[in-house]
Amino acid sequence: MDDTEIRTHTALHVVKGAVRKVLGAKWTASTWVSKGHGRITVQLFNKPSESDMKEIFRLANEKIVEGVPVKMEVLSREEAEKKYGDEIYDLFPIPAEVKELKIVIIEGWNINACNKPHTSTTAEIGEIEMCDWRFRRVKNLLEVSFNLKKI
């Protein structure tokens, strides 16, 4: 994974934290990263407003500017579940045979089991901009796409 993909992947965690703060969405259904473009799909039961979406990106970029640490803990699955509960999981399951989890922590913002590389601070991500969003009412899913701005 190259530097741009690492930054974009870390941005997914920042965007997810903002989505949760603004819309209360807890469960991620899917993620996708390609170079400086990312997409996160979360379970959501009501269509957000355009102002909600703008607020998500305002908060996400604010968190990036703060330059807070992106911590990584490696714990046994049992320890991780005891410490963090279901916060670490998404709608797509981690196979049962995986006994050790890497937990990504942006304090007070996002916590997730994730085995990908990440930046060490949010500032390393650089600014992000909303590309597009789509609410799929039939599936109760919100797809949020973004791009990293060129550094």
pLDDT of 45: 96
Number of H helices, E strands in the chain: 3, 7
Q: Domains along the chain?
A: 3-148 (3.30.980.10)
| pLDDT of 151 over the 80 cut | no
Q: Is 53 helix (H, G, I), strand (E, B) or coil?
A: helix
- The tens digit of pLDDT for each residue in 29-74 reads 999 999 999 999 999 999 999 999 999 999 999 999 999 999 999 9
Joined tokens for residue 150? 């060129």
Q: CA 87, 90, 93 angle in degrees (round to 5)?
A: 120
Q: Which long-range contacts (CB under 8 A, 24 or more apart) does 79-84 make?
A: 80/113, 84/111
For 46, which DSSP code? S
Sheet holding 128-136, edge to edge: 28-34, 37-43, 141-148, 128-136
pLDDT of 1: 74
- The tens digit of pLDDT for each residue in 86-131 reads 999 999 889 999 999 999 999 999 999 999 999 999 999 999 999 9
> Is 113 in contact with 94 (CB distance < 8 Å)?
yes
Q: Note the pTM of the prediction, 2 decimals.
A: 0.95
| pLDDT of 84 over the 80 cut | yes
pLDDT of 93: 87
